[in-house]
A and B are shown apart, each in its own frame.
Chain A
Amino acid sequence: GEDVEQSLFLSVREGDSSVINCTYTDSSSTYLYWYKQEPGAGLQLLTYIFSNMDMKQDQRLTVLLNKKDKHLSLRIADTQTGDSAIYFCAESAHTGGFKTIFGAGTRLFVKA
């Protein structure tokens, strides 16, 4: 079945860039997402990319999609302590009725 994998932990210094990587297996993915979960809260959509795009930039966030390798990354420029959270990669396919498959989440630690 479909699977989404991502590394579990990332630690960076404040001001550095963070890059969180994700791989997925469903070649029919329509949308790929990055959700953010802060402590004690639910998930919130951070950004998403349509499968026919290679890159999407939104302020400090850059999403890169390599569809051939089924690889998605999220780059956070000038990482701040407030960016410390769990980041979930996810994908959904129109053919699957937009059923969302989540990765296990990457916990980002930002050191001051």
Chain B
Amino acid sequence: EADIYQTPRYLVIGTGKKITLECSQTMGHDKMYWYQQDPGMELHLIHYSYGVNSTEKGDLSSESTVSRIRTEHFPLTLESARPSHTSQYLCASSDPSGTGRRGELFFGEGSRLTVL
């Protein structure tokens, strides 16, 4: 069973607000990821991290930023939200060197962001 948690599950905010989406996992996984899922269902990798103090941009350009100060925590921040940021954001983790040797991704439940 996956132990990866995202908060908030739902967030409705006004344009220009700063928001942080939280993601935490208790599996000790080194690799963590943020995906943006558009209404057409497709997943786009926007950020990933291979460990503490490691962050990389993904395949889809995003105005959001991430940090990885602790292994278990990988928050995503938008400094000034806009309606174009409205989407579902999914956090995931993996540990190819351990029980997840097959490269399985463990996903959180997602954070659905609506910017008015």
Contact of B107 among A42, A97, A98 (CB under 8 A): A42
Contact of A102 among B43, B94, B96, B102 (CB under 8 A): B43
Within 8 A of A (CB), among B89-116: 90, 92, 94, 96, 102-110
Given A30-B103, A100-B105, A104-B41, also A42-B94 (CB < 8 A):
no
Task: Give the chain A neighbours of B27 by CB distance below 8 A.
Answer: none
Number of interface residues of B (CB under 8 A): 20
Q: Is the interface of B mostly helix, strand, loop or mixed?
A: loop
Size class of the contact patch on chain A: 20 to 34
26 A-B pairs within 8 Å (CB atoms) are namely: A30-B103, A31-B102, A33-B104, A37-B41, A40-B109, A41-B109, A41-B110, A42-B108, A42-B109, A42-B110, A43-B43, A43-B107, A44-B2, A44-B107, A45-B104, A45-B106, A48-B102, A48-B104, A92-B103, A98-B96, A100-B105, A102-B42, A104-B40, A104-B41, A105-B43, A107-B41
